[in-house]
Amino acid sequence: MSSSFFLKKELKINKKRKQPLGDKKVGKLSKKLNNEASISSSIRDEEIASDDECDIGGEAIANNTNLAFSDESEEETPQDKRLRLAKQYLEEIKNQELEKAKERQLHDQVSQRLQTDYLDSVGKLRKTIAANIEGYDAANLVKLKHKKQHLPLCSLALATDGQFLFSGGKSEYVLKWNLRSNRVVGIFNVESYNEDFNKGVLKRRSHVIAMCLSSDMRYLALADNGQTIQIWCPKELKHLKTFHGHRDVVTCLVFRKGTHELYSGSYDRSVKVWSLDEMAYVESLFGHQAGITGIDALTRGRAISSGGPDCSLRIWKITEESQLIYNGHKDRVECVRFLNDENFISSGTDGSLCLWSALKKKPLYTEILSHGRQENGEANWLTAITCVMNTDLIASGSCDGFIRLWQATDHYRKLKQILQIPVQGFVNALAFNQDGTKLFAALGQEHRLGRWLRVAEAKNQIVIIDLLRNQI
């Protein structure tokens, strides 16, 4: 076949495809489309039940749209993430530093407590409390009196916790006071156990001129104006033991702090050591040339005593079996007290209050006529002194009508009067509580050891004085 045949056939085919649709075909196609549209509209009408369902569907769609938009709006940017992580890191650092600060504070408190306990055990603890005292509560003085102790009060023994106080006087009764209620919770009679009086050795009836209480309130030792020492149970008020050994009247007693080792002084010029754990005599210490009038001790195995008319003080190194002698008073020495293991104070009938160092044979400071003069020009006797252990606070009493408070200043080289409290009568015993906020005074019309003077207008009673401190 020739090529012209194929060309003619292609032209026929192209011409046939380019022909437009006829009217019949267009009419059929439009009719078919209209039928399909009517069927779909009927189906849609059947699916839509009501207008409410339409609204609900619209709201759901809207809510989903809002959530989508809100998620997109709250999506965290890299900058916000960095800021959030930085805040979280800073908070962790802050918590860690707070924990470290608490640990450091606790460590400092424990370290300070250990240091304080160590200094206290070696007698080198120093507390300054006297400078904070600005007065006393004159409107709320507590006065304790009892018919069993109508005679002058002579001695006091205060419990370490400050809850109980034992008082003795020129009568045969010892009273136990509850300091919370200020009432007597126990009474016992010492005369029936005074063997010297019952045997006729003493003509004068018993009276308690000295008392001391152990630190754990397990033993109460008292001197009953005889040559013996009575040991009582302060809790049950039962008699436990009577110590014999002194050859004259026992005048002073003290327990070594934290132990059951008892030291006693007597007019027989000796100091005796007793062990209450074994209820036995240990040893005697000799050296004084006159009767002993006062004694004191701290935690170490040492005791200090005043020799009365021999005007001397002696520190007894019991374990080393040696003694140190101190002279400075011009007349009879009445009382002596340890401030700490390195310093002590003493007083006497010459009216002087002396501050000492254990390393010096002479007093570092002497307050002459510390309580004034009597009407006849003689010095008022200092009948009682006390202090708060390991502090600079001191109290002294006489018959001049005042209790005076002193501060040891200039590194325990001087005494400065800071307060005077008016009272009537002889101040025969003084005692501070542990923190020095309360002062207990035993008052009487007469001196605890005799009847040389008498203050008729005075009352035989115990006075409790609250000391006021500033809030610094």
Q: How confident is the model at residue 367 (pLDDT cuts 50, 70, 90)?
A: very high
Contact 450, 432 (CB under 8 A): no
The sign of the CA dihedral 112, 115, 119, 121 is: positive
**What distance in Å separates the CA atoms of residue 171 and residue 189, rounded to the nearest whole number?**
9
- Is 105 a domain residue? no
Q: How confident is the model at residue 80 (pLDDT cuts 50, 70, 90)?
A: confident
Any long-range contacts for 402-411 (C-beta under 8 Å, 24+ apart)?
A: 402/371, 403/427, 403/430, 403/439, 403/441, 403/465, 404/370, 404/371, 405/130, 405/133, 405/467, 406/130, 406/353, 406/367, 407/130, 407/131, 408/130, 408/339, 408/343, 408/355
- Is 40 a domain residue? no
- Is 464 a domain residue? yes
Residue-wise pLDDT tens digits, 285-308: 999 999 999 999 988 889 999 988
Evaluate if residue 59 carries a pLDDT over 60: no
Evaluate if residue 330 carries a pLDDT over 60: yes
Q: How confident is the model at residue 202 (pLDDT cuts 50, 70, 90)?
A: low
Arithmetic mean of pLDDT over the chain: 84
Average pLDDT value for residue range 159-178: 94
Q: What is the CATH number of the domain that holds 289?
A: 2.130.10.10
Q: Is 347 exposed, middle or buried (0-12, 13-18, 19+ CB in 10 A)?
A: buried
Residue-wise pLDDT tens digits, 214-240: 999 999 999 988 889 999 999 999 999
Residue 432 domain boundaries? 131-469
Q: How confident is the model at residue 39 (pLDDT cuts 50, 70, 90)?
A: very low
Strand order in the sheet with 164-169: 153-158, 164-169, 173-178, 183-189
- Is 14 a domain residue? no
- Is 76 a domain residue? no
Q: How confident is the model at residue 79 (pLDDT cuts 50, 70, 90)?
A: confident
Note the pTM of the prediction, 2 decimals. Answer: 0.75
Residue-level pLDDT at 67: 43
Residue-level pLDDT at 31: 53
- Is 136 a domain residue? yes
Number of folded domains that form the chain = 1
- Is 123 a domain residue? no
Q: How confident is the model at residue 21 (pLDDT cuts 50, 70, 90)?
A: very low
- Is 67 a domain residue? no
**What distance in Å separates the CA atoms of residue 22 and residue 305, rounded to the nearest whole number?**
148
- In the chain, % of residues over pLDDT 70: 81
